[in-house]
Each structure stands twice: as C-alpha cells, then as structure tokens.
Amino acid sequence: MKNSPGKKIKTAVFISGKGSNLKSLINFSKKKISNIEIVLVITNNKKAKGLQFAIKNKINNFYINYKIKKISEKKILKKLAELKIKLICLAGFMEILSQNFIKKSNSTIINIHPSLLPKYKGLNTHAKVLSNGEKYTGCTVHFVNSKLDSGKIILQKKVKVLNDDNIYKLKKRVLIEEHKLYPKAILKIFN
Ligand code: GRF
C-alpha cells in the first residue's frame, strides 16, 4: 500500500480499556518518521482508561454504546467518513467488526493481539500460554477480517516465557513488545 509522500494517513484507534497501545501510537504519531496522524478515538466503554490519552492530546473521541451492533457501526462509519479516515488500528477493542463495516469503512483495518497467532486466538492468552507450558509467546499485528484474530499477519515478535513467569509479568513483557511492534507494522504496510 502506498501513501502520498509527505501526507500523513488519517488514523482512528478503537479501544475498550487501558489504552497503553493507544498511548504508544500517539507517541509514534508525533515522531518525524511516523506516517500517521491520529484524528479519532472510538470506544465501546465509557469508562475506558485509555480515553484520558485522547483527551490529553485533544483527539476527537467518541463513546458508542454498542447495544445494537448495526446502529453502532453506522454511527462509526459516519465519523470515519467525516474525518476521512484511511487506517483503523484496533487496540484492545472488545468487539468483532461486521463484514459490512469492514467493506464500507474505506480503510485498512489492523489489530494487535498478545500471542503468536494463529496460536491462542481470543481472550486469556497469557493464562493459556502458561498452563500449556509454552517456551515462547509473543504478539502479532494482523489485518482484520470478520473472523476473530484471523486476518493476514503483518508482523510478529517472539517473547520468551521465563520459569518464574505469571500472567501479570508475562503480560507486562509482551506489552512492551506490542508498543514497539504496532508502529513498525504501520510503517511496513504503507512503505
Ligand atoms: C493488548 O494486549 C492487545 O494486544 C490486546 O488487548 C490489549 C490492550 O491493551 N488486543 P491496552 O488497552 O492497549 O493497554
């Protein structure tokens, strides 16, 4: 995918929780090397802690209640069109986007997942990795389709599981890699 030289890609980030990936993407967007401009943050959780990063950085942010998926997606599509969004980064967004939304979004949609996909799709990845005695885990950035954690892989980073690991420690180390991997994947797909 090519981006016009000198032009930053208008980007939306979708979150549901802490927003540490949102924070790292905002930091990335401010760097000279960055090819994105984050102009929209969407959440399905009014109490998402990550919203603070959007507010602090004066980024348009909207809570969509997601009670009725079709209506919620229609509202989001309207915002995407208004702001001419071309890239959507899912970052801990706890909803599955419909095929219709993906088709109509007019955007490249990517997601970050805390495992070495195709292993450990879905929730509780670190607990599953630990209980299965895996030696390695990691994180993956992939294109989004309407199946959970299943689109084409863009980049992955391996993380070693240590003898004294627990869910908390492992999550923390994987997140450090996530924060580096997401910007790298964005640079990769548009360069
Ligand atoms: C990350 O582990 C991400 O891979 C997964 O959800 C988590 C979100 O964390 N999809 P944060 O809200 O970005 O801190």
pLDDT for the residue numbered 61: 98
Task: Read off the tokens for 4.
Answer: 């016009």
Place of tokens 């942010």: 61
Report residues whose beta carbon is within 6 angstroms of any ligand 1 atom: 15, 17-21, 50, 91-92, 112-114, 175, 178
pLDDT digits (tens, 9 = 90+) for 74-95: 999 999 999 999 999 999 999 9
Instruction: Tell me the helix, strand and coil percentages in the chain, rounded to 5.
Output: 35, 25, 40
Three-class SS state of 90: strand
Three-class SS state of 22: helix
Q: Which atom of ligand 1 is nearest to the CA of 93?
A: 10
Question: Residue 10: which of 113, 102, 82 has the closest Cα?
Answer: 82
Taking the C-alpha atoms of residue 98 and residue 92, their distance in angstroms, rounded to an integer, is 17
pLDDT for the residue numbered 3: 65
Q: Which atom of ligand 1 is nearest to the CA of 21?
A: 13
How far is the centre of ligand 1, averaged over its atoms, from the C-alpha of 168 (Å)?
A: 13
pTM of the model: 0.96
- Residues with a known catalytic role: 113
Q: Nearest C-alpha to atom 4 of ligand 1 is from which residue?
A: 113
